[in-house]
Amino acid sequence: MDFFTGTSHSFDTGIATEYGEKAALLIHNFQLWINYNARLGKNFIEERTWSYGTIEEIAAPFEYYSTDQIRRILDKLVDKKVLKKGNYNETQYKRTLWYSFENEKMFRIRRNCQMELAKLPNGYGEIAKCNKDICTNTCTKKNKKKSLPPASTAAQEVASLLLKKLKERNPKMVFKSLTQWPTQIDEMMRLDKRTLEETKSVIELTFSQDYFWGKPIKSPTSLRKFFDRVMEDIIHPPKAKREENQREKKLKDEQINQKWITPLTNFSFNDRERRISISSQGIGIHNGRDYESVPYSSPGFKPTVLHRLKTWGMTDIMERMESTI
């Protein structure tokens, strides 16, 4: 009977001595996948790189272990703080499991080797293995074209900060496309020329208490949409803008008072049909049943008043008004 498959599994002997052979096999498989995802800038969430799959997909490469055995090994590695378990599924009904290393730096594999990985979304279904035909010190041009450029460290930092703030605001919030966040933010920072400092400042202000523009921001896409509006409030804070508007209004009122109101204070004309009313907002011209109000803020205040008086045949009032203002 031919029971050879041509597939071999391996592990680090030091890890096997510390955690056992079964655990070492799973650790080695996670090392390959997490190393692969990190190289492509994929699945970087909350300051760490993740690998995901259902329990059946994780167990599939290990035909000599049952699904329950794999589940117990995973639980053991989580208890021993080797693996960290997460849940970043887009819906609550998905059975996908997320794992990362508690200490990714310690368990990451450092080698110049292209890994041949299964063609599932995260590669499960077949154990990750090294293809010796393409295991070289440098990648070929063909392999380079297949690899996506990893998101920058700054983009990964921003993605983690945004996720943290969203979780603080709504712990039960369901997130979509988390694995694409670093790439989306990296694109925003490159194309829109956003620096790390200003991007973090925008996020901090966005999620400050009662800030209006923070409510619609739930992803990198909406962050990019409202970025300029939030940045404007950083440069010119709302309170400062209100105070500046108040100062401008006060100055404008003083100018109007000095130019129009004060000279017209003692001006009065009133008979049965014709009357001039002076207020803090402007002048009211009454001519029988006709009435027109001319505000001080209108661009041609004086010419408008004089023209109306002349048109309505109120030349005597026009002459007095002209000498007054």
Backbone torsions φ then ψ of 83, nearest 5 degrees: -105, 150
Instruction: Name the β-bridge partners of 285.
Output: 276, 292
Q: How many CB atoms lie within 10 A of CB 113?
A: 17
Distance CA 218, CA 3 (A): 53
Per-residue model confidence as pLDDT tens digits over 262-276: 777 666 666 767 778
Q: Is 204 exposed, middle or buried (0-12, 13-18, 19+ CB in 10 A)?
A: middle
What pLDDT does residue 146 have? 47
C-alpha 152/C-alpha 189 separation (Å) is 10
Say what the pLDDT of residue 107 is. Answer: 80
Looking at residue 99, the DSSP 8-state letter turns out to be E
238-249: b or e for each residue (b if 16 or more CB lie within 10 Å)?
eeeeeeeeeeee
Write the DSSP string, 283-322: EEEEETTEEEEEETTSTTHHHHHHHHHHHTT-HHHHHHHH
The H-assigned helical ranges of the chain are 13-19, 21-40, 55-59, 67-79, 104-107, 141-146, 153-169, 181-191, 196-206, 220-235, 238-256, 262-264, 301-311, 315-324
d(CA 90, CA 103): 26
Q: Which of 25, 11, 35 is nearest to 77 (CA)?
A: 25
Position 136 scores a pLDDT of 34
Q: Among candidates 293, 294, 296, 288, which has minimal Cα distance to 314? A: 288
Which residues of the chain have a pLDDT value below 70? 1-6, 92-93, 109-149, 209-214, 236-243, 265-270, 272
Q: Which 3 state secondary structure label does DSSP give 110?
A: coil
Task: Summarize the chain as % helix, strand, coil (round to 5).
Answer: 50, 10, 35
Give backbone dihedrals phi and psi of 117, rounded to 5 degrees, phi first: -115, 155
DSSP state of 83: E
pLDDT digits (tens, 9 = 90+) for 231-282: 887 776 666 566 677 777 777 777 777 777 777 766 666 676 777 877 778 8
Dihedral (CA of 305, 310, 313, 317) sign: positive
Angle between helices 153-169 and 220-235 (to 10 degrees): 90
Global pTM? 0.44
For residue 140, what pLDDT is reported? 40
Q: Which residue has the tokens 């027109």?
A: 292
In this structure, the chain runs to a length of 325
* pLDDT for the residue 213: 59
